[in-house]
Structure 1
Amino acid sequence: MDITGYFASILIGISLGLIGGGGSILTVPVLVYLFTVDTVLATTYSLFIVGSTSLAGSISYFKKDLINFKTAMVFGVPSIVAVFLTRTYFLPAIPEHIASLGRLIITKSTLLLIFFAVLMVLASYSMIKKDKKKEGDQTKPINNFLVVIQGVITGIVTGLIGAGGGFLIIPALVNLLKLPMKVAIGTSLVIIAVNSLAGFAFSVGHASIHWSFLFTVTSIAIVGIFIGSFISTKIDSKKLKPAFGWFVLAMGIYIIIKETLLK
């Protein structure tokens, strides 16, 4: 399973490099089901893996001047605040045993995985559906309040389950802040990196980190994102995105079934 897990780790990076957002949503399932890491600890590991991989992936966008740092600040500040509050107060407040429904015992880990799976299903929809427009409607005014709300929602998601939230960030940057798609992807990678690494910093004092394992998986994922970025110059990523979306959908449904019906 470890070999399969390391192979899956490179796929995480490749998917991030290919489609920009959504690839990191595979990180927690890989850690939990292939490496048998505790769910809460897996969200902490995921923050570091996703943050480091996204930071590495943003380098090529920075070189091409495809990152809007002002937008990253506007979107990122409320996100970081939400990540801090979620990791410091909300996540620790969730009890280990939540409820029993017949034979099904809902624990903290079960709740997080089901919530994660629901988000995977939602993320898959954004990947599968056909994009009717590439950029935001430039005639509509920018709604800063909605930007802040979206940033807070993204921060909560990042803090709870360790996913970067690219499937939430990119549509917001395109539709609310009117960024061109390539700039939105580059800016999204910066926001994901800052959010995730900040979340890891908020959590590291409360977790027992296996650093050699974490660095190994992260290094493999970083190699993957460079491979994905290279492949994206040879293959139209728009054709691969729906296929990846169907895979994420299948994974989300599998997790829901495994954590409810197969317990």
Structure 2
Amino acid sequence: MITILMGSIAIGLSLGVLGSGGSILTVPVLAYGLGQTEKQAIASALLIVGLISSVSSFSGIRQRLVHWPLVWLFGLPGMVGTYLGAWFASFTTGIVQMTVFATVMLAAAWRMFKPSKAAPETRSEPSNWLTGFQGLLVGVLTGFVGVGGGFLIVPALVLLSGLAMRTAVATSLVIIVMNSFIGFLKYQQVLTESQTQLNWHIIMVMTAIGIAGSLTGQRLSGRLPQQKIKSAFSIFLILMAGFILYQSLPALFPAFTL
């Protein structure tokens, strides 16, 4: 129960304060803390983060911070990519997914450790095709390893589309909801075919605690030193990625010894 409680609070706070990082915490908590299979953990994480993000996004919608044209331009291709990524994951082993997941964690750590950059005052408008293609790639990643992609979506919206950080975070949460739910629906098909059941009790408990943590994080976000939080979070991600690789690589490469 302690694992569920602490993990859910961390997931919610991450989404509330940073607008990202939820799935990157959820999958390891479910897979290593609660002993679920890789595909169970990824499917559950997509639903948990989707539900938490849907509640968290209400604040940005109410404050009219969400940039709806970019939601559709970035999010709709993202949904297609998520479905494709989840479909491709059905042909791969969980060990491969967790190895890729650890690599994604390292990329997220690097992204968060770097100081945030403001959107340039003068910039060329990105083409709709480029924005849609970025959404598609983020979606494929979401579907394959179960990450919402917020750590990629937020910088893309800030640096390439020129959004303010608060608008980018609010917009990112809506896109995460779209990607997470379509990915979960596809994973349900995969789990049904393998006759694997989800633990709905854990999903509901983690979602409820995560929502409370996310709402608290949103209230605290303006008062906390975000760059210091990101730096600390990135160090945690590096340690977690190292643990996942330590667990996964020997199974992926039997001759590989640590």
Alignment counterpart, residue 180 of structure 1, candidates 157, 164, 180: 164
Separation in structure 2 between the aligned mates of residue 32 and residue 147 of structure 1, nearest angstrom: 33
Per-residue Cα deviation, 1:182-227 (whole angstroms, up to 9, x for no partner): 1111000000011101211222244222222211111111111112
Identical-pair percentage: 36
What are the within-5 Å matches in structure 2 for residues 221-260 of structure 1? Answer: 221-260=210-249
Separation in structure 1 between the aligned mates of residue 155 and residue 181 of structure 2, nearest angstrom: 22
Alignment counterpart, residue 138 of structure 1, candidates 122, 125, 130: 122
The amino acid that maps onto 1:58 is S
Is this contact kept in 2: 1:137–1:175, CA < 8 A?
no
Separation in structure 2 between the aligned mates of residue 55 and residue 211 of structure 1, nearest angstrom: 18
Separation in structure 2 between the aligned mates of residue 152 and residue 164 of structure 1, nearest angstrom: 13
**Partner residue in 2 for 1:203:** 187
Aligned residues: 247
Gap regions ≥5 residues in structure 2:
192-196, 251-256
Separation in structure 2 between the aligned mates of residue 114 and residue 188 of structure 1, nearest angstrom: 25
**Partner residue in 1 for 2:142:** 158
Separation in structure 2 between the aligned mates of residue 236 and residue 153 of structure 1, nearest angstrom: 31
Is this contact kept in 2: 1:15–1:228, CA < 8 A?
yes
Alignment counterpart, residue 114 of structure 2, candidates 119, 129, 146: 129
Separation in structure 2 between the aligned mates of residue 66 and residue 126 of structure 1, nearest angstrom: 23
User: Alignment RMSD, CA only?
Assistant: 1.7
Give 1:160 deviation, angstroms: 0.8
Is this contact kept in 2: 1:66–1:186, CA < 8 A?
yes
Gap regions ≥5 residues in structure 1:
95-107
Separation in structure 2 between the aligned mates of residue 48 and residue 143 of structure 1, nearest angstrom: 31
Per-residue Cα deviation, 1:82-103 (whole angstroms, up to 9, x for no partner): 112222x312222xxxxxxxxx
**Partner residue in 2 for 1:100:** none
The answer to whether residue 99 in structure 2 is matched with residue 114 in structure 1 is: yes
Give 1:150 deviation, angstroms: 1.1
Q: TM-score, normalised by structure 2?
A: 0.90
Give 1:146 deviation, angstroms: 2.1
Per-residue Cα deviation, 1:112-141 (whole angstroms, up to 9, x for no partner): 11100000000001111112x311453312
Separation in structure 2 between the aligned mates of residue 256 and residue 206 of structure 1, nearest angstrom: 25
Is this contact kept in 1: 2:115–2:227, CA < 8 A?
no
Distance 1:156 1:236, change over 3 A: same
